Amino acid sequence: MPEAPTDGTTKARETFGSRFGSLTVLIGVAVGLANVWRFPYLAGKHGGAAFVLLYVLLNFLLGIPAIMAEWTLGRMTRQGPAGAFVTAGMPGGRGIGLLLFFTVFMAMTYYTLIVGQVLFYALHTSFGFTMGADPASFYQAKLGGITPWNLAMTSLTFLGIGGVLYLGVRRGIEAISRIAMPLVFLSLLVVIVRSVTLPGAAVGLRFYLVPDLSKIDGPTVLAAMGQVFFSLSLGGTFFLLYGSYLRDDENLPVTAVQTAFGDMSAALLAGLAVLPAVFAMGVEPTSGPSLLFITLPGVFGAMPGGAFAGGLFFSAFFVAAFLSAVAGMEVLVDGSRHYFGWSRGRALVVLVGADLLLSLPSMSSSSALMWNDRLWGSTMQPVGSALTLIALGWFVSRGRALAEVNRGSGVRVGGLWIFWIRWVIPISIVFILVYGWWPQIRGEP
């Protein structure tokens, strides 16, 4: 494998200050829209506890080994996606880095828009402005198109991201994560208490906690597999870059288990907060993507203490999604310095301005937003993860990869991990993509 760059950038690279700080950052990257929005509606659609059981199992079989691979490549090369593939000796490495850079750039145009809309609901629900309103009409009036509220919330979210990143890795990303992530979990616990104590919530609890194995079929397995990659932010971008910030004594296998457990916990708690309340209010649990901004505000509006519970829920959700957005922009800042030689300040000004401008198509059309999510999120994210696994599994020597993943660890990872990242996980990703695009491949509407 080619030697790491000797221009001094690798040695001077900033790292996280403590193990607790790095763990909160890594969990903050993983926890986001997928946990609090996507997971509950997929669980509702695919049989509740049966989906949950598969999701937990596949986290350990696929998610944790893939996390370790992305961190190993990042820490070994001390570079993000802009340079890691080149340093690993992968053919076309620069082009792969550019492709993933553009993928994150486009994903940020719609992801940050949704984060801003979550902020809108956190503020409006907390002050009771959504109480008594028809949820669909309220959403359409305030956020249905290029509205002043959409522009204001998206701009405010981008400015917040820029402010955190301008402070750097330790003073910005790590400092806010150490405070924010414990508050996210505490907030979800409070909402769960309100949800499970509603009359009729027991039906939702049984649906969510007692598996019916007859509900497990091909689509359920593939949906759970896709959720693992989407939820953990695997994609050769966020975790690859943050792996380059990990200290040499970071225990990668143990931290990977802790991160996956933290991410799973956030998803499981979100489901526990949402689904019992949905059942208690007599709402269809398979509401799909509209669950977040139409179904849930209606549920909170109908329950006693709904303004408090809803405001807390959306506030916790905003913080979690915001930290994932911070990670996305950090990937772009790192890439801009690598490709264009921009300073952190200049990169933030240009990238925030460009992404804000390009968020307008997704803001104006829900179909454009869903298409962007399908292409840049649900498709390119697994592709990026597969490319990272190929780079480490096939273009870095077996001994070098095992030495790096085991550095700083008392838990020894063996050759089975290499086989797993070379074959099992990439083949699983192919199944995810084929299943997801099969209707379009067959020309179905």
Tokens, residue 324 = 């994932």
**Cα dihedral 375/379/381/387 (nearest 10):** -120
User: What pLDDT does 209 receive?
Assistant: 96
Check pLDDT > 80 for residue 2: no
Domains and CATH numbers, the chain: 25-441 (1.10.4160)
How confident is the model over 115-127, as a mean pLDDT? 95
Instruction: Report yes or no on whether pTM surpasses 0.85.
Output: yes
Six-digit token string for 375: 């292409």
What residues contact 430, with CB distance under 8 A and at least 6 apart? Answer: 386
Per-residue pLDDT tens digits for 3-15: 344 333 444 578 8
Average pLDDT for 138-150: 95
- The candidate with the shortest Cα–Cα distance to 259, out of 62, 24, 74, is 24
Determine the pLDDT at residue 6. Answer: 37
Q: Which two tokens stand for residue 334?
A: 């790192």
Interval 377-425: pLDDT, tens: 889 989 999 999 999 999 999 999 999 999 998 889 999 999 999 999 9
How sure is the predictor about 289, in pLDDT bands with cuts at 50, 70 and 90? low
Residue 11's pLDDT is 46
Q: Tell me the pLDDT band of 154, cut-offs 50, 70 and 90.
A: very high
Q: Taking the alpha carbons of 236, 237, 238, 243 in that order, is the dihedral positive or negative?
A: positive
DSSP 171-219: IIIIHHHHHHHHHHHHHHHHHHHHHHTSTTHHHHHHHHHS--GGG--HH
pLDDT digits (tens, 9 = 90+) for 224-259: 988 999 889 899 999 999 999 999 999 999 999 999
Lowest mean pLDDT among 292-306, 354-368, 392-406: 292-306
pLDDT score at 8: 35
> How many Cβ atoms sit within 10 Å of the Cβ of residue 306?
22
pLDDT for 378 equals 83
d(CA 231, CA 35): 6
